[in-house]
Amino acid sequence: MQTKILLDEGEMPKRWYNIQADLPLPLDPPLHPATGKPATPDDLRPIFPMELIRQEMSRERYIDIPAEVRDILTLWRPSPLYRARRLEAALKTPAKIYYKWEGVSPPGSHKPNTAIPQAYYNREEGIERLATETGAGQWGSSLAFATSLFDMECTVYMVRSSYEQKPYRKSMMQVYGAECIPSPSLKTRSGRMVLGRDPDTPGSLGIAISEAVEDAASHDNTNYALGSVLNHVCLHQTIIGQEAKQQLAVAEAYPDVVIGCVGGGSNFAGISFPFAGEKITGKHPDIDIIAVEPAACPTLTKGLYTYDYGDVAGLTPIMKMFTLGHDFVPPAIHAGGLRYHGASPLVSRLAHDGVIRPVAYYQNEVFEAAVTFARTEGIVVAPEAAHAVKAAIDEALRCRETGEAKVILFNNSGHGNFDFSSYEAYFAGGLADYEYPVELIKESLSRLPVTG
Ligand SMILES: *Cc1c(COP(=O)(O)O)cnc(C)c1O
């Protein structure tokens, strides 16, 4: 029995899988934030390169990965697929647990899978600088890594609570040559507006996005890059699930359960869309696909499926998605990368249609699962990835009850080597299990944009 299944570089997928081709009904179009009319490619041109706008709207099933992008991806891809045999033994489960390990990328998560192609297409279209937001710092350091390889500049607005909790992510961005600014900042109108209302705000992804979009829209040589949520980001991440499918085939296995954690939804999309496509089209109708989120920011389990802004200031297109309201500021939980009020429109549609099944966990049980994983498999995972670990353990324990030998696949989205302050807080008993902040969410949902 193999512990890890590796592919050769030559076996790395040459195309991304676009699940839009297999949706029974097309996605509801994004709307222009000012007019409420469907956004046109021209509306998006001030902040995105043409090719990414094309991919965003494409319904082609497969899109070629450019050779220069593939060449860079081989720095760490194909990533290994592990069989978690020691975890299985500790849980005394008949289930077979496999995980895709995305922590092998230089910044340590799945995010470079899209940072590299995004930087590439922007450079191809003459852009010299990218502006972006980051939560836990994973995306900022990934885009900083990508822009350094393409000789571009990079400005990162980092959610203040994470900027303070995770100083080393900021240092990593500096090593890659990017500028990292705590958000909200005084540099943008959106930042000044939020600070005026609440000077002590921990910040949020929604605020940081407003700042980065404003920066990009007001500079000609600068575009905006988003690390999650959008269709083209989910598309780029499908290299994960496609590789996993090839690797499982080597083990003559196919998953009964596929699991990923959801912040904006991109790593979940990456691991699950190649399988969700086979579920929708009837090839494998029975796969259980589980999206795991924090109970403190329960977008898919408690949000509304409706049109909302992607950011606080209302500068982004209005998207049909599960949302907690664009000005909802989630509690400062340690999985900073999962603190987003919305979710990818594609992931939201699949949740709405019942193709995927969302679940939510509290942070202490999530860290407990992460510690079990570290003490059996050896890897200290990121607090975000720990949500997927927790769900995989729960599914495996359910198999122990029923005696089923299910094949469980989860995405291990990144390492926790910069997250030890969070682990320390967990061991010290200092993590709060925030209750679902029902009043705050209700209030925020009362301020949805008016559309149609
Ligand atoms: C950013 C991040 C996430 C959450 O983002 P998604 O777009 O939902 O994937 C999950 N895990 C890690 C390690 C991250 O860095």
Three-state secondary structure call for residue 11: helix
What confidence score (pLDDT) does residue 58 get?
97
Going by alpha carbons, the residue nearest to atom 15 of ligand 1 is: 138
Global pTM reads: 0.96
Tell me whether strands 179-183 and 407-412 are parallel, antiparallel or unpaired: unpaired
Q: Which residues contact 20 (CB under 8 A, 6 or more apart)?
A: 26, 27, 58, 59, 231, 346
Burial bucket for residue 199 (CB in 10 Å: 0-12, 13-18, 19+): exposed
148 Cα–ligand 1 center, Å: 21
Give the tens place of pLDDT for each residue, 212-243: 999 999 999 999 999 999 999 999 999 999 99
User: Are residues 347 and 268 in contact, defined by beta-carbon separation less than 8 angstroms?
Assistant: yes
What confidence score (pLDDT) does residue 204 get?
85
Atom of ligand 1 lying closest to residue 381 CA: 13
What confidence score (pLDDT) does residue 313 get?
80
266 CB within 6 A, ligand 1: yes
Q: What CA dihedral angle connects 82, 88, 91 and 94, to 10 degrees?
A: 140
Domains of the chain: 18-65+110-231 (3.40.50.1100), 71-108+235-445 (3.40.50.1100)
What confidence score (pLDDT) does residue 452 get?
55
Which letter, b or e, does each residue of 429-447 get, where b requires 16 or more Cβ atoms within 10 Å of its Cβ? eebeebebbeebbeebbee
404 Cα–ligand 1 center, Å: 30
What confidence score (pLDDT) does residue 247 get?
98
What confidence score (pLDDT) does residue 2 get?
87
Q: pLDDT under 50 in the chain at which residues? A: none
Closest CA to 367 of 380, 386, 341: 386
Atom of ligand 1 lying closest to residue 103 CA: 13
Element (H, E) at 378: none
261 CB within 6 A, ligand 1: yes
Question: Which of 134, 138, 166 for mutating ligand 1's site (highest number of atoms within 8 Å of CB)?
Answer: 138
